[in-house]
Amino acid sequence: MAEGTGFSIHRQPGFTAIAMLCFVLLYLPIILLVIYSFNAGNSIAIWEGFSWRWYQSAWENEQVQEATVRSLIIALWASVISTSVAVLAALATTRTRKFKGQSAVFAMINQPLMVPEIVTAVALLIFFAMIKVATGYTGLMYLIIAHAAFCIPFAYLPIRARLQGMDLSLEQAAADLYATPFQVFRRITLPQLWPGILAGAMLAFVISLDDVVITEFVKSAGQDTLPTYMLGQLRRVVTPEVNAISTALLAISVAMVIAFTVLSKMKN
């Protein structure tokens, strides 16, 4: 077959038009949300001039402040816990010989990605409800544990990919020089693995920060996070303040994703 005569999706009739339409449908609503977050009026659909009014309103709103702090605390702890578990899981599935059931272990680690989130949320609701009845404790720890469990595969995948792309020769050389497994990990593996760990932690942080379904099912009274607070506002009166909060979350998420992409491509 002559070079360049093979099948290429890019050369199919209408590909460019369909691709552009998909991008428009995906990003136009987001662009409009950002634009109307600067609307001077009360409407989310009628432009009445440029203003920082709603950003100031969100900044001074005590409920928004409390929900933001709560969201950051939960996301921080969830990312730390999920990333720690993900590192151990990645080491166990890439730095050992193949064993029977390894595919099943990989599937179990990534279970939250395959099972509908609503199913996970209902299961956690029932499980934590039993613990609440038995202990009487209704604190934030339930949300932290739920978010951490859900975020494990998001942290695991970039860490595992990083480990699989690392050269084993340095670790083998250190072992030949009588370094203990812990010394090999601390002095050889961990320094090379840091970009993957940071990328996984940031991805877990963003997933936890944006989560609505699991939070809505697991949280107790007075434990609204920023996304669930926004959901509650949408059920009442919708103002551009919600647009302003959404734009702020979007900016954080985009910054974290960019950092995740950069760290994932680092070689050293």
Q: Strand, helix or coil at 220?
A: coil
**What is the rounded CA–CA span in Å between residue 99 and residue 248?**
46
Interval 77-90: pLDDT, tens:
999 999 999 999 88
Quote the tokens at residue 83.
């990333």
Domain of 244, in residue numbers: 62-265
Is 5 within a domain? Answer: no
Is 12 within a domain? Answer: no
Closest CA to 143 of 246, 232, 216, 245: 216
Is 44 within a domain? Answer: no
**What is the rounded CA–CA span in Å between residue 81 and residue 204?**
10
CATH for 215: 1.10.3720.10
- As a whole-number percent, the residues of the chain with pLDDT over 90 amount to 24
Least confident of 81-95, 101-115, 126-140: 101-115
**What is the rounded CA–CA span in Å between residue 61 and residue 67?**
10
How many CB atoms are closer than 10 A to CB 200? 32
Is 192 within a domain? Answer: yes
Q: How many domains does the chain have?
A: 1
Is 15 within a domain? Answer: no
Q: Which of 160-169, 185-194, 202-211 has the highest mean pLDDT?
A: 202-211
pTM higher than 0.85: no
pLDDT category at 1 given cuts 50, 70, 90 is very low
Is 36 within a domain? Answer: no
